[in-house]
Amino acid sequence: MPPRLFRVRYDRSMSLTARTTPDFSTESEFERDVEQHLDWSNPNPTPFVSTFSVRRHAENWAYKRAERGCSDVVILELDPKELGPIFSVQYLVQSQFVHTNLPDDTYEDEYLVLDEICKRSIIDKKIVQVDESNSDSDESDFDSDESDFDSDESNPNSDESDSDSSFSA
C-alpha cells in the first residue's frame, strides 16, 4: 500500500462517496463493477472512488481539469490507513482479474477506494488555479497548509473552503 493517496475533486466530481453502495457477493460481480468503473463511457454508478498514488499524476489531472474550465479543483492528500478497502488497478489488471482498454500509464498508480473517502483520512488539501497571465508556463506552486478537516462527517460534500493551500499554473 502506498504511504499516501491523492483524490482530485472538481465541480463535476466533488463527492468523497461512491455513486452507489457496494452490492457484490461474488468475484464476478466485483470484476464487473471494477471494469465498469474503468470504462469512462459507462453511465452506471459504481461503488468506487478513484485515487492516485503519485502526487504528480494527481497534479497533472487536476491542472487539466482546471484548464478545461472545471471549477473548484482541489487535490486531497489522503492517509490510506484511514480508508476502508483499497484496490490497486494495476494489480487487478496485471493479474488478469479485470480487463480494461485504458493505456497502462492511465491506471498504473490508480487505486480504487470502496464506498467512500472518510474525512479523517484527509491530511492536506491543495486548491488548483489556472494563472491566466502565465498560461504558457509549466511552473506550479504548492504551499503546505495545516487545514482543518473537522467538518461534518455525515456530509461528504460539505464546504471545506477555509484556509487552503494553492496550486497555480
Q: What is the mean pLDDT of the chain?
A: 83
> At 25, is the pLDDT very low, low, confident or very high (cuts 50, 70, 90)?
very high
Beta strand pairing call for 74-78 and 122-129: antiparallel
Note whether residue 162 is domain-resident.
no
Q: How far apart are the first and last CA of the chain?
A: 30
Retrieve residue 153's grid coordinates.
462527517
53-93 pLDDT, tens digit per residue, is 999 999 999 999 999 999 999 999 999 999 999 999 999 99
- Number of domains observed in the structure of the chain: 1
Q: HSE-up of 114 (CA within 13 Å, CB side)?
A: 11
Q: What is the domain extent for residue 98?
A: 5-125
Distance CA 168, CA 131 (A): 6
**Percent helix / strand / coil, the chain, rounded to 5:** 25, 25, 50
In degrees, to the nearest 5, what angle opens at C-alpha 7 toward C-alphas 154 and 82?
A: 55
